[in-house]
Structure 1
Amino acid sequence: MTPDEHAARFTLLRPLLFTIVYEILGSATESDDVLQDSYLRWAEVDLTTVRDAKSYLARLVTRQALNSVRASTRRREDYIGPWLPEPLLVDEHDASADLVLAESVSMAMLVLLETLTPHERAVFVLREVFGFDYDEIAAAVSKSVMTVRQVAHRARSHVHARRKRFEPVDAAEVARITEQFMTAATTGDTVGLLSLLAPEVTWTADSGGKATAARRPVVGAEKVAAVLVNLFHARRPTSDMRIEMVNYSNMPAMVAYRGDLLEGVFLIEIFGGRITNLYAIRNPDKLATLMVPRRISR
């Protein structure tokens, strides 16, 4: 077999492989590293021994992703403030017509998956999102089929008990709410913001201690409105901040620039016609790659 054949098979499946690893890790940057390492291992494989490239590569990248989780545990423990998954700048056609894929890469689901153990997360993702058989998953996570079935049941129950009912929000409603939100935030219209925010809305900011941000989640419409007015209105007259609307992980987001420097990405979660969560990515290490478009698949 030639190197071109290895590359062709890997390239064909790369969007799928990236999505598997990303949903296990919650980090696009770390996922790129895992795929690079996985490809080097794949390039040494005798393809005549591979009956199903998809199953083989899914097993390979899952193992490497779990290794990456173990290596990053200390970094997560030492992280300053909340750690949020990296949102994806994706082609909306990759996921918008696939409700399972759309939910699986949403910030709400990724944050929920963070509450699972690494093996629970891998098993849940491989089974519930990608539909792999239990024996394939068992080989990927190096556990027995019986154990994998138990882990899958436990993870499924955990996720279903805590997630909101996922529904694609009407595009026109999203546009209306986000436009009103952006106007209210940038003009300091507290009353307007309160009309858009759910009573228990939560603001979560990920800065890693490298940018100005709340070190703990802020909960409650009035408190979150005050944060928004301070960030997008009070500071704006003294700066050259500009804001653009972008879609991240199938969620509307405000992208803030100071000159040409990306200052933050602010994702807006809408449920029941109100904004229920705001996720602020301020860590410059994460911002460095957030504008890189990603292809996902399942």
Structure 2
Amino acid sequence: MTETQTFLNLRPRLFGIAYRMLGTRHDADDAVQDVYVRWCEAEARSVRSPEAWLVSVTTRLCIDRLRSLKVDRESYVGPWLSEPLVAEVASPETELEKAQHLSIAFLLVLERLSPEERASFLLHEVFDFDYAEIADALQRSEGACRQLVYRARQRLGEPRGRFRASPSKHRALVEQFAAATASGDIGRIVALLSKDAQLVADGGGTARVVLRPLQGAERIARLFHVIARQLSTLRARLEYRPVLVNGELGLLRLFDGTLHSVLAFETNGDRISSIGIVANPAKLGGAALSQPRSDP
């Protein structure tokens, strides 16, 4: 097997790590391309474990990149959400591998972590690396890596999506949500949301969205009620299209045929517990259905 083929075989895993670390397709692609350049320059034939070498370089590059992105993200207008990975819906059961560790809500929670904590947590909890492998990737001791994973778990707390709906139930809730918000019926919307549901919207300072997270079913329902009334007044056409967003059913939202935002949902079995809205135009380029992607 050639060095290039070895890299291509491992590229989906490297992209999965880079995307979960950096949160955008562009940054993840750049990181993986940089890894490939270094792989070509290395004495690849003498590398004992190509996967370990490539994962280590990818991880360290992403840590450095996250540090350089810190200032930009701290000055970002409103909440920062990861760029959604959109794909066509093949069936109600279609999900990406380990989609619970790919959701927009999960990636938002990871923003609480330092770059080293994020890398250690992802390698251990998502990609099943042992502490010796993580220590090699981060060039730290196993004890230090154990401490990083422990701190990450403490900072993340109890995941909101612990009790997850089946794909069919998740689909039903998303479809009912689309119908309820199109009509602006507050009662119907509230009935679909957990009492402590959360909505986070990313407009990047260019798209009109709420600038602060909304907590609670009533507040979220009122927001969609107001949007429905405004669209009715303007005689604007609202359209939802079902798509896979980071491995789970979500929605494209279009106003008069123009893509406005991508909606991602977390469901807990009976209700919608979390809604992420990505409306920043810079993050919507990958939402074209003609170019589905499932690298992670």
TM-score of the pair, normalised by structure 1 = 0.89
CA, structure 1 residues 295+69, in 2 after alignment: closer, same or farther (shift >3 Å)? same
Report the 3-state secondary structure (helix = DSSP H, G, I; strand = E; otherwise coil) of the residue aligned with 1:163: coil
Q: Which amino acid aligns with 2:84?
A: P
Q: Which amino acid aligns with 2:31?
A: V
Report matched runs for 1:269-280 at 5 Å.
269-280=266-277
How far the C-alpha of 1:72 sits from its partner, in A, is 0.8
| Aligned with 1:230 (options 226, 231, 234) | 226
Q: Which amino acid aligns with 1:111?
A: L
CA, structure 1 residues 250+197, in 2 after alignment: closer, same or farther (shift >3 Å)? same
In the alignment, which residue of structure 2 is the partner of 1:58? 55
In the alignment, which residue of structure 2 is the partner of 1:83? 80
In the alignment, which residue of structure 2 is the partner of 1:295? 294
Report matched runs for 1:125-144 at 5 Å.
125-144=122-141
- Check the 8 A contact 1:84/1:281 in 2, yes or no: yes
How far the C-alpha of 1:233 sits from its partner, in A, is 5.1
How far the C-alpha of 1:259 sits from its partner, in A, is 4.7
Unmatched segments (≥5 aa) in structure 2: none
Report the 3-state secondary structure (helix = DSSP H, G, I; strand = E; otherwise coil) of the residue aligned with 1:245: strand
- Check the 8 A contact 1:90/1:296 in 2, yes or no: no
More moved, 207-216 vs 231-240: 231-240
More moved, 179-188 vs 251-260: 251-260
| Aligned with 1:198 (options 185, 188, 194) | 194
In the alignment, which residue of structure 2 is the partner of 1:121? 118
Deviations 1:57-78 (A, max 9, x none): 0001111111110121111011
More moved, 40-49 vs 118-127: 40-49
Q: Size of the alignment, in residue pairs?
A: 291
- Check the 8 A contact 1:24/1:121 in 2, yes or no: yes
1:185 and 1:260 mapped to 2: Cα distance?
Answer: 17
Unmatched segments (≥5 aa) in structure 1: none
Report the 3-state secondary structure (helix = DSSP H, G, I; strand = E; otherwise coil) of the residue aligned with 1:116: coil
- Check the 8 A contact 2:266/2:275 in 1, yes or no: yes
TM-score of the pair, normalised by structure 2 = 0.90
Percent identical residues: 33
Coordinate RMSD, CA, aligned = 2.3
Q: Which amino acid aligns with 1:76?
A: R
In the alignment, which residue of structure 1 is the partner of 2:37? 40
| Aligned with 1:182 (options 138, 157, 178) | 178
Deviations 1:27-61 (A, max 9, x none): 22211111111111111111222111111100011
How far the C-alpha of 1:165 sits from its partner, in A, is 5.2
- Check the 8 A contact 2:3/2:45 in 1, yes or no: no
1:244 and 1:276 mapped to 2: Cα distance?
Answer: 21
More moved, 200-209 vs 148-157: 148-157
1:278 and 1:165 mapped to 2: Cα distance?
Answer: 12
CA, structure 1 residues 132+294, in 2 after alignment: closer, same or farther (shift >3 Å)? same
How far the C-alpha of 1:18 sits from its partner, in A, is 0.6
How far the C-alpha of 1:164 sits from its partner, in A, is 3.1
How far the C-alpha of 1:242 sits from its partner, in A, is 2.3
1:95 and 1:32 mapped to 2: Cα distance?
Answer: 24
Report the 3-state secondary structure (helix = DSSP H, G, I; strand = E; otherwise coil) of the residue aligned with 1:242: strand
- Check the 8 A contact 1:268/1:278 in 2, yes or no: yes
